[in-house]
């Protein structure tokens, strides 16, 4: 059941596309015929006398019906003259014109022996040295001077020149300018102006696709499609009567080559768009295209004419284009990205108009008809361009979706990392608290605990030495203050710590007869200077001051704190006492200070002589 529904779903776009194609063809035929068909009631010249003026060609004068195709009536003629007598009942008044819808050869136009104008060059050996006439020449219009048309007989003469079997002259129209010029303008717009606009639009789209290919090199379908449009535009430019620095022969060859390579690039673009890989098939097509190109370029040295080469080349082009369109048609019902109702009309337009132009070239259809393939360009280019733009948009959408998904994943990972970081930070905080707790307990045990045990022993022993007991209590309080100061977050800089200590030691120094010299300046911050380092530094400083009070016999004590080399901080306690005795350097106090300095990564140094002692700590 699902397969049946899917089949009908696929069938509706096909039937709708075919119906739309038929509707567009009927509409195009009506509009195109309205544009190129002259209005009724004009003075029409549909038969003229023709005389060959080739000295080497013996062609008898004859009366020719128009349109006159030299491939059928004068295969060996390259120059000739058409004449006809136009009889008017009365002299014309107002502005008149002469309109030549189909003239595929160079010509001079005379009326009553007066030159009205010319198309191209008419000198032998110039433009007519080309092997075949162009099939995209524009219509021509000449204004007749006043009083040129007389009542009675008026002789119209066309001196023409073309390559052998290439000339073509259609019917000629005479009428008032106000009636005739609009017919010329409509045909010119349909055949030339529209082609120019289509070519300019294709070049603009080609540049756009080129930019898309530059932006997305990995998707080469944009590059192949741009090459398609460039070659098709080149074909149109060289096929039209546009002034380029090449001879007409060279323009014809370039136009043919561009048309052939257009379908070759179309095959490559089709394969890449559909994701198909046919390397052998593509090599065969490229080889045939290269061989055909050489045949066209060197056709003048081959035993057949360029016209025959053109017919062979065009047959190859038609078959390759048919293969590419067939490939698209087969995949149309299988792929969702091809469900565009205009794909079938675009393909049919190219195929039908291509067959029409091929029939013209093969002389199956009258040559006075114009080529139509370029009219398939707007639909085909728009449809395939829309598919590629949709493909590019979907690619951008996928990229944006992936970027959004990636951003969401990154945000989720960031949240996880943030969560893990917070958890780790909490663990570190807990670990720090545990370490600080253990350190604090150890400091209490070693410092305050030791003093309390000493005091308890003195009380239990019954010795009431008040001085020793007071000293023990003061030491205990000093230890407590030092530990409390080390835990204060805002006091973890050396000047603040030393300032807090100064307030406590100054009374003690005065009672000991010591004069304090304070030399503490602003200091740079010390890396990782937390409670532990602060406590060790204060204990070292306290021990050094205590040694001066107890053992130095000094009168002055100096406390310095300064920066060394803009990166180290030095704390120095010096006195003018008697120095340290040699046996005292191995005492327990100095050993404790050295141990504490090593624990915090500081350098402890002591210098002593008979002039005093200097203790320094470098952080």
User: Residue ranges per domain, the chain?
Assistant: 2-38+192-400, 43-184, 494-618
- Both tokens of residue 303? 């035993």
Positions of the chain with pLDDT under 50: 1-11, 122-135
Given phi > 0 = left and psi -120 to 50 = alpha, else beta, which region is 278? beta
- Both tokens of residue 341? 């109702």
pLDDT in tens, 291-340: 888 888 887 676 666 566 777 888 888 888 888 888 777 776 666 665 56
Q: What are phi and psi of 44, to 5 degrees?
A: -110, 130
Query: How confident is the model at residue 182, as a pLDDT?
Result: 92
pLDDT in tens, 1-49: 444 434 434 445 556 666 666 777 777 777 777 778 888 888 899 999 9
* Burial call 372-409: b when 16+ CB within 10 Å, e when fewer: bbbbbbbbbbebbbebbeebbeeeeeeeeeeeeeeeee
Q: Is 205 helix (H, G, I), strand (E, B) or coil?
A: helix
- Both tokens of residue 510? 């005065």
Q: Which CATH class is domain 43-184?
A: mainly beta
Q: Span 2-38+192-400: which CATH code?
A: 1.20.1070
Instruction: Kindly report the pTM of this predicted structure.
Output: 0.60
Query: How confident is the model at residue 465, as a pLDDT?
Result: 67
3-state secondary structure 57-89: CCCCCEEEECCEEHHHHCCCCCEEEEEEEEEEC
End-to-end CA distance of the chain: give it in Å, rounded.
Answer: 86
Query: How confident is the model at residue 99, as a pLDDT?
Result: 93
* Burial call 468-500: b when 16+ CB within 10 Å, e when fewer: eeeebeebbebbebbbebbeeeebbbbeebbeb
Q: Is 570 helix (H, G, I), strand (E, B) or coil?
A: strand
Query: How confident is the model at residue 131, as a pLDDT?
Result: 36
Query: How confident is the model at residue 135, as a pLDDT?
Result: 44
Give CA 67 to chain center in angstroms: 54
Architecture of the domain delimited by 494-618: 2-Layer Sandwich (3.30)
Give CA 410 to chain center in angstroms: 25
Query: How confident is the model at residue 124, as a pLDDT?
Result: 44
Instruction: Examine domains 2-38+192-400 and 494-618 and report if their fold is the same.
Output: no
Residue of 405, 401, 399 whose CA lies nearest to 218: 399
């Amino acid at each position: 059941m699902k397969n049946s529904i899917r089949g009908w779903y696929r069938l509706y776009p096909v039937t709708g596309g075919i119906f739309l194609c038929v509707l567009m063809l009927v509409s195009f035929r009506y509009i195109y015929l309205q544009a190129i068909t002259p209005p009724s009631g004009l003075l029409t010249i549909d038969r003229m006398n023709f005389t060959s003026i080739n000295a080497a060609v013996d062609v008898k004068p004859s009366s020719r019906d128009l349109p006159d195709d030299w491939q059928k009536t004068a295969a060996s003629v390259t120059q000739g003259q058409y004449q006809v007598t136009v009889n008017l009942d009365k002299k014309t008044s107002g502005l008149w014109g002469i309109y030549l819808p189909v003239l595929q050869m160079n010509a001079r136009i005379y009326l009553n022996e007066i030159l009205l104008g010319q198309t191209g060059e008419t000198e032998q050996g110039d433009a007519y040295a080309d092997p075949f006439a162009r099939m995209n020449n524009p219509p021509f219009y000449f204004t007749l001077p006043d009083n040129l048309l007389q009542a009675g007989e008026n002789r119209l003469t066309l001196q023409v020149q073309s390559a052998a079997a290439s000339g073509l002259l259609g019917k000629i129209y005479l009428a008032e300018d106000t009636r005739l010029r609009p017919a010329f303008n409509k045909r010119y717009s349909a055949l030339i102006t529209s082609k120019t606009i289509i070519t300019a639009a294709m070049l603009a789209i080609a540049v756009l696709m080129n930019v898309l290919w530059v932006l997305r090199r990995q998707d080469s379908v944009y590059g192949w499609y741009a090459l398609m449009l460039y070659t098709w535009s080149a074909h149109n430019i060289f096929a039209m009567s546009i002034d380029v620095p090449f001879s007409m022969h060279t323009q014809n060859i370039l136009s043919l080559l561009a048309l052939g390579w257009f379908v070759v690039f179309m095959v490559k673009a089709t394969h890449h768009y559909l994701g198909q890989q046919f390397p052998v098939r593509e090599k065969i097509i490229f080889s045939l295209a290269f061989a055909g190109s050489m045949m066209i370029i060197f056709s003048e040295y081959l035993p057949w004419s360029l016209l025959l080469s053109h017919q062979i080349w065009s047959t190859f082009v038609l078959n390759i284009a048919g293969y590419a369109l067939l490939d698209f048609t087969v995949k149309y019902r299988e792929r969702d990205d091809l469900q565009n109702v205009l794909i079938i009309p675009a393909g049919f337009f190219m195929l039908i108009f291509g067959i029409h132009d091929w029939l013209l070239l093969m002389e199956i259809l009258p040559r006075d008809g114009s080529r139509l393939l370029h009219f398939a360009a707007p639909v085909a280019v728009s449809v395939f361009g829309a598919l590629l733009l949709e493909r590019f948009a979907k690619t951008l959408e996928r990229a944006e979706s992936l970027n959004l998904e990636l951003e969401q994943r990154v945000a989720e990972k960031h949240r996880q990392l943030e969560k893990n970081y917070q958890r780790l930070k909490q663990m570190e905080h807990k670990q720090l608290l545990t370490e600080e707790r253990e350190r604090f307990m150890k400091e209490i045990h070693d410092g305050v605990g030791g003093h309390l045990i000493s005091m308890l022993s003195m009380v239990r022993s019954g010795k009431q030495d008040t001085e020793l007991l007071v000293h023990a209590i003061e030491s205990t309080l000093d230890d407590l203050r030092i530990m409390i100061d080390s835990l204060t977050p805002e006091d973890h800089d050396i000047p603040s710590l030393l300032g807090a200590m100064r307030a406590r030691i100054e009374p003690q120094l005065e009672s000991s007869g010591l004069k304090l010299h304070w030399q503490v300046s602003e200091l740079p911050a010390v890396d990782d200077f937390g409670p532990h380092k602060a406590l060790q530094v204060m204990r070292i400083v306290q021990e050094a001051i205590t040694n001066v009070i107890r053992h130095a016999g000094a009168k002055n004590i100096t406390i310095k704190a300064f920066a060394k080399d803009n990166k180290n901080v030095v704390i120095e306690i010096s006195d003018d006492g008697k120095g340290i005795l040699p046996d005292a350097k191995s005492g327990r106090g100095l050993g404790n200070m050295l141990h504490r300095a090593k624990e915090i990564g500081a350098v402890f140094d002591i210098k002593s002589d008979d002039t005093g002692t200097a203790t320094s700590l470098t952080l």
